[in-house]
Structure formats: C-alpha cells, structure tokens
A = this chain, B = another copy of it.
Amino acid sequence: MKTTLKREITSGRILDAAYRAIAARGWGAVTLREIAEESEVALSQLSYYFGNKDGLFAAVLERMQREYAENLAAKLRNATSFQERLERLIDYNRLLLKENADLYRNFLEFFNFAMASPEFKKQVTAFLAGIARAIEEQITQKQKSNQKLASFSSSAITHFILSASFGISLQHLLTPKNKDVEAGFDLIKTALGIVFSADAKDATRIS
C-alpha cells in the first residue's frame, strides 16, 4: 500500500512540475533538470518513473486528457436536450480557459508537438475524436428535421464547436484582456441558437 502510495506521490509531483513547466516555457525549452528541481526530486527519478523525456511528455498528456474528459462527462451528465449539451460544452471550455488556462496552453503545446510526431499525432487525434464522438452520440437522436443545418452533419457541427472554442482560447491566451475575444463563446451560442431555433418554432425554450 505504502509502496504504491509513495510511487504515486513522487510520480505525481513530477507530473505536476512538468505540467507547470510546460505551460510556462514550452516543452521544447523545458529541461528535465528544471522539472526535477521544481518537484524537489533527483534528476534520475525522472528516468526511473517515466523512462525518458518522451515518456514523461506522454504521461502528462495522458493525465490531461483524462481529466478533461472526466470533467466534461460530469458537466454533461444530467443535461437533457442537445442544445443544452452544446451549451454546457461551450461553457465548460470557457470555464477552463478562465480558471485553468494552463490546460489549454498545454493542449496547444501538445497539438503543436503532435504535428511533428506521428505517434503523438495519433494520440491527440484519438483524443479529439473521442470528445467529438461523445458529443455527437447524443445528436443524432435529437436532430431530425432542421432546414438551415440540413447540409451539415452532426459531426460537422460538433467539430465546429470544438474548433471555434479552441481558436477562441488560443487567441484569448495571447490577449487575455480583450473582452471581444471571449465574446466569441457567446457568438457560438447565438449563431447556433438561431440556427437551431429554425425548427424549434413551437418550443422556444431558453435554457
């Protein structure tokens, strides 16, 4: 018991330090010595627990993915309508950006890194596809007749929300003070809301 506890404590501290270091200076610029110092652990411990630098990188990514997915699932749990789910997805992304900007910062880092590494590319792609699918699954049953969005698949709409959220976040990270950037989240809602209200004339409920 204590063994695993110790293991988790140490490796967890390393992961935390790595997470913070990546957000602060970028993965390429971060050194293992830096992470070791910040986590108050000997350098050799990093090799011991994660093998090599790529292994540590992958571990950080994996934990980020898991946390994001779990939190998102919790947010969506008792949401009924598709529109409500979309709204919560958007709100979730917005909340993360405000209260956990490092997460987005690191996601960007990983995305960026993935483009040069086929292995990570596969992982990041699978992650995105997983989120998209989770949202999409609850669309098909709800969205039946929609004039304005008829030409767009549910997958396209989902990907659009993800894309836009991420783009907004990216810009927000660069210019956190610009309120017009953050307004993009509202714009997604308004735009899609209008779109969806096309076939909801009879039931115009505002959640």
Contact = CB atoms under 8 A, between A and B. Distances in A.
A157 B28 contact: no
A160 B175 CA distance: 14
A192 B125 CA distance: 28
A201 interface: no
Nearest to A129: B175
Nearest to A178: B159
Contacts of A170: 111, 163, 166-167, 170
A73 interface: no
A203 interface: no
A9 interface: no
Interface string A13-27: 000000000001111
A163 B186 CA distance: 13
Copies in the complex: 2
Contacts of A156: 180-181, 183-184, 187
Interface string A139-165: 000000000110111011101101111
Interface stretch (A36-44, A56-64, A84-92, A112-120): A112-120
B191 A171 contact: no
A88 to B, nearest CB: 19
A108 B174 CA distance: 12
Given A108-B111, A163-B170, 17 more contacts: A26-B28, A108-B108, A108-B115, A115-B174, A125-B175, A152-B183, A152-B186, A153-B180, A157-B187, A159-B168, A163-B164, A163-B181, A163-B184, A164-B168, A166-B170, A167-B167, A167-B170
